[in-house]
């Protein structure tokens, strides 16, 4: 091991010992730490600089206790040990972060990544460019979320305070004011939603954070009802659509043309798959989100047929008729 690497490892050890001493409430100072770690006070002061500048440690000196303390009690530094498989995953991190582009989490996750990268020995670096010709990651297209909106909703949820905001429904082009008690936040396929009690509609509704603006906390506090369960308001596979809480059994028949694909794909977490002799595949599952199933089925053309429920059959048929009329073939 080179002297440079040895010095870096020793410094990492000292940094974590100093972190432990500060978090213990002992108010350590450079003199005491130098004696404890058997180094010079100058070395300890350089370690303090690393704590402040690299780890963003919220350090303050207490004249009363003649030592250092953290202004944020929950701050801490952990050792990071990375195996070969985890290192490979880190090399993909830059690409994977594309899934969070346009969201407030992107900056925070990149900051975490840089700290992990900086904790590695100096002769080790993470560079995803060497994988650029071998692996391609295509993220979902995401609507941008204003950082202030994201932070305000999270903060209100933690404090159990109602919020007022301007909201543009999916089918509208204008904003309207809403007030909700935020109960739960969901991220599905990179899109963020808040579930809460809507004061206007007097029922639980789902709102997309990307279509919210001017979020303000009120002075009103709330309690989340004891019987509230976010799983009752979303379908993990089909989407976040609060169209109904009634469960429907859905049966879809996939043509032989895409039979193998249909049989291997996970369409729903509670699905049942039956291969037919002609190569077609019968897929059954339960969901509350018939509108989302309808949208998906219509996007598959003639390769998928709805068998159940009759309500969904009728809706898909009506939509198909509208398409024929749109193209002048509905006569």
Q: What is the pLDDT of residues 47-68, one digit of tens each?
A: 999 888 888 889 999 999 999 9
136 is a domain residue: no
pLDDT of residue 75: 80
| Helix or strand holding residue 309 (H, E) | none
279 and 225 within one domain: no
R_g of the chain, CA atoms, integer Å:
28
* pLDDT band at residue 328 under the 50/70/90 scheme: confident
pLDDT of residue 326: 87
191 and 217 within one domain: yes
- Choosing from 207, 232, 257, the residue where a domain stops is 232
227 and 151 within one domain: yes
pLDDT of residue 12: 77
153 and 124 within one domain: no
122 and 62 within one domain: no
CA distances to 33, 75, 102, 243, 297 from 19, rounded to whole Å, are 11, 9, 34, 51, 56
190 and 155 within one domain: yes
What pairing do the DSSP bridges indicate for beta strands 67-70 and 161-167?
unpaired
DSSP 35: H
| Six token digits for residue 261 | 């694909």
237 is a domain residue: no
Per the model's pLDDT, the better-predicted residue between 314 and 235 turns out to be 314
Q: What is the pLDDT of residues 97-155, one digit of tens each?
A: 766 776 777 777 777 777 766 655 544 455 554 445 566 666 666 677 888 998 899 99
167 and 104 within one domain: no
241 is a domain residue: no
43 is a domain residue: yes
Range in 59-63, 77-81, 141-145, 272-276 with the lowest mean pLDDT = 77-81
310 and 276 within one domain: yes
284 is a domain residue: yes
What integer is the mean pLDDT of 213-237? 87
| Helix or strand holding residue 306 (H, E) | strand 304-308
The residue segments making up the domain with residue 105 are 84-131
What integer is the mean pLDDT of 268-289? 87
pLDDT of residue 196: 94
56 and 13 within one domain: yes
pLDDT of residue 102: 65
What integer is the mean pLDDT of 232-246? 64
**Token match 């039956």: residue?**
274
Closest CA relative to residue 305, chosen from 282, 271, 274: 282
**DSSP string covering 229-280, please?**
-GGGS-BTTTBS--S-S--EEEEEEE-GGGHHHHHHS---TT-EEEE-TTS-
223 and 260 within one domain: no
Average pLDDT, the chain: 82
* Domain CATH for 60: 1.10.10
158 is a domain residue: yes
Q: Is the pLDDT of residue 1 over 50?
A: no
* Domain CATH for 168: 2.30.30
331 is a domain residue: no
228 and 275 within one domain: no
pLDDT of residue 327: 84
211 and 256 within one domain: no
261 is a domain residue: yes
Per the model's pLDDT, the better-predicted residue between 135 and 198 turns out to be 198
Total number of domains constituting the chain: 4
Closest CA relative to residue 120, chosen from 68, 54, 62: 54
């Amino acid at each position: 091991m080179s002297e440079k690497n040895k010095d870096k490892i020793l410094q990492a050890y000292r940094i974590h010992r100093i972190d432990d001493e500060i978090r213990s409430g002992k108010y350590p100072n450079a003199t005491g730490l130098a004696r404890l770690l058997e180094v010079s006070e100058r070395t300890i002061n350089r370690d303090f600089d690393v704590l402040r500048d690299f780890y963003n440690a919220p350090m303050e000196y207490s004249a009363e206790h003649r030592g250092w303390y953290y202004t944020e009690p929950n701050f801490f530094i952990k050792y990071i040990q990375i195996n070969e498989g985890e290192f490979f995953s880190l090399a993909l991190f830059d690409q994977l972060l594309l899934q969070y582009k346009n969201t407030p989490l992107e900056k925070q996750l990149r900051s975490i990544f840089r700290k992990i990268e900086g904790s590695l020995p100096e002769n080790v670096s993470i560079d995803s460019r060497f994988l650029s010709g071998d692996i391609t990651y295509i993220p979902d297209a995401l609507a941008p979320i204003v950082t202030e909106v994201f932070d305000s909703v999270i903060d209100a949820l933690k404090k159990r305070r109602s919020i007022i905001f301007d909201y543009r429904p999916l089918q509208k082009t204008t904003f309207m004011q809403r007030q909700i008690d935020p109960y739960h936040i969901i991220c599905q396929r990179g899109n963020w939603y808040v579930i809460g009690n809507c004061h206007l509609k007097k029922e639980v509704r789902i709102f997309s954070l990307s279509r919210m603006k001017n979020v303000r906390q009120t002075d009103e506090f709330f309690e989340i009802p004891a019987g509230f369960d976010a799983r009752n308001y979303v379908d993990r596979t089909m989407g976040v659509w609060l169209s109904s809480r009634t469960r429907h059994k859905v049966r879809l028949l996939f043509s032989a043309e895409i039979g193998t694909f249909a049989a291997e794909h996970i369409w729903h977490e509670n699905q049942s798959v039956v291969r037919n002799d002609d190569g077609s595949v019968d897929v059954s599952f339960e969901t509350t989100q018939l509108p989302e199933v309808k949208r998906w089925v219509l996007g598959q053309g003639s390769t998928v047929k709805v068998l159940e429920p009759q309500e969904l059959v009728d809706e898909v048929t009506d939509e198909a008729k509208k398409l024929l009329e749109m193209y002048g073939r509905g006569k």
